[in-house]
């Protein structure tokens, strides 16, 4: 118990990200080894993989909210777009089968009497193209949205409302059958990925390990970014945007770059998430999902990167237990948790260990009598 507390205090310190990276990789490797020899159940591997994807999404939000002061309530858009890109790739790999078999069109298009593949589906039969789109499409959407919003100097609660409107509008658009993305059913029944069955134990382990590596690299990359001159200016923009502007900087440029990078990380999280859950549909764009992701960051401790990871894992672990034992109480528990953290833990769970360490350091030494 003492060792665990010491580890958490170290994570709360400046060396948080390297220690968290080692812990994440070690845990993922231990689970993979344990599953291969039968000591870890099969259901635990994809569950941990989902948590890692959620943690990556939380890190992307923390980059713009914790360091840039941009409270985005629409990151579900970027997460969902990344997921749809990989989902489209796996749908193109299914091939002719079933009652509505067609050599080119996915089954749902044949069922809806489509005669040819839409132009925006071309190229997704190639994994490198789909992987690139999982990053580029969210990045381009963020670039266009951020350019228009930041150029108009939309900030604060107004920007948050616009991001929420963006994800709601995207959800409504993807629900339409004529959009060509499966309508309310979305994309599912995936078979293969990179030539291997997506439901095999080996592929599940590989996806979980890939999620761990992506999370670690994202943590290290974001840590380097926020520690750079760019990151210092970004934090200054968060704390005093007008002063930064008077000093000759262009705050909108810094916020735009941060938003684009954040969107690409969220798209990567969605791309890793979909093969592990086996489905992607418009419900991923629901505003409630984006708000819940913000709660993860707040609970863990925004502006610390590792706090976002801690919050995502802790809240989703609690959600897994609640939805199994007391499903009707989960939303009430989540709301209560957010209120309690806002009132009593403004620095989140990670702040508990920071404050504890500070109080110990501030305690004067007492000489023995």
Is residue 352 pLDDT above 90, yes or no? no
pLDDT at 32 over 50: yes
pTM of the model: 0.89
- Residue 324 has a pLDDT of 79
Which tens digits make up the pLDDT trace of 52-76?
999 999 999 999 999 999 999 999 9
Structure confidence at residue 212 as a pLDDT band (50, 70, 90): very high
Q: Over pLDDT 70: what percentage of the chain?
A: 89
Mean of the pLDDT values across residues 74-101? 81
- The token pair that represents 334 in the structure block: 């989540």
Q: What number of other Cβ atoms are within 10 A of residue 103's Cβ?
A: 6
Three-class HEC string of 149-216: HHHCCCCHHHHHHHHHHHHHHHHHHHCCHHHCCCHHHCEECCCEECCEECCCHHHHHHHHHHHHHHHH
CA distance 89 to 50: 20
According to DSSP H, which parts of the chain are helical?
2-12, 16-36, 44-65, 75-92, 107-111, 127-151, 156-174, 201-227, 229-239, 241-246, 251-277, 287-300, 306-325, 330-344, 348-362
Q: Quick one: what percent of the chain has pLDDT higher than 90?
A: 53
pLDDT score at 367: 43
pLDDT tens column, 141-153: 999 999 999 998 8
> Do 275 and 207 form a contact (C-beta atoms < 8 A)?
yes
């Amino acid at each position: 118990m003492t060792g665990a507390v010491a580890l958490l205090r170290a994570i709360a310190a400046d060396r948080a990200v390297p220690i968290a990276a080692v812990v994440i990789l070690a845990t993922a490797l231990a689970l993979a080894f344990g599953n291969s020899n039968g000591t870890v159940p099969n259901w635990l591997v994809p569950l941990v993989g989902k948590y890692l994807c959620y943690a990556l999404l939380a890190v992307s939000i923390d980059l713009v909210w914790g360091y840039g002061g941009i409270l985005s309530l629409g990151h579900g858009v970027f997460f969902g777009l990344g997921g749809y890109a990989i989902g489209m790739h796996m749908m193109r790999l299914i091939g002719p089968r079933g009652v509505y078999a067609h050599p080119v069109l996915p089954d749902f298009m044949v069922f809806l009497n489509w005669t040819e593949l839409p132009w925006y589906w071309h190229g997704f039969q190639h994994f490198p193209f789909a992987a690139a789109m999982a990053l580029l499409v969210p990045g381009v959407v963020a670039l266009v949205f951020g350019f228009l919003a930041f150029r108009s100097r939309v900030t604060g609660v107004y920007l948050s409302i616009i991001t929420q409107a963006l994800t709601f509008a995207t959800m409504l658009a993807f629900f339409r059958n004529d959009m060509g993305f499966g309508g309310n059913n979305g994309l599912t029944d995936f078979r293969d990925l990179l030539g291997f069955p997506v439901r095999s134990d080996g592929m599940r382990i590989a996806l979980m390990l890939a999620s761990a590596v992506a999370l670690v690299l994202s943590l290290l990359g974001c840590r380097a970014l926020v520690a750079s001159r760019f990151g210092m200016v970004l934090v200054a923009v968060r704390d005093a945007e007008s002063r930064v502007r008077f000093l000759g900087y262009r705050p909108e440029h810094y916020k735009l770059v941060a938003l684009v990078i954040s969107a690409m990380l969220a798209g990567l999280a969605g791309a890793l998430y979909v093969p592990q859950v086996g489905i992607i549909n418009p419900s991923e764009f629901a505003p409630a999902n984006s708000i819940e992701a913000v709660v993860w960051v707040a609970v863990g401790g925004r502006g610390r990167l590792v706090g976002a990871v801690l919050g995502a894992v802790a809240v989703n672990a609690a959600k897994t237990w609640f939805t199994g034992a007391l499903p009707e109480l989960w939303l009430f528990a989540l709301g209560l948790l957010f209120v309690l953290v806002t009132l009593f833990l403004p620095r989140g769970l990670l702040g508990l260990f920071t404050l504890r360490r500070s109080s110990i350091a501030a305690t004067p030494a007492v000489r023995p009598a």
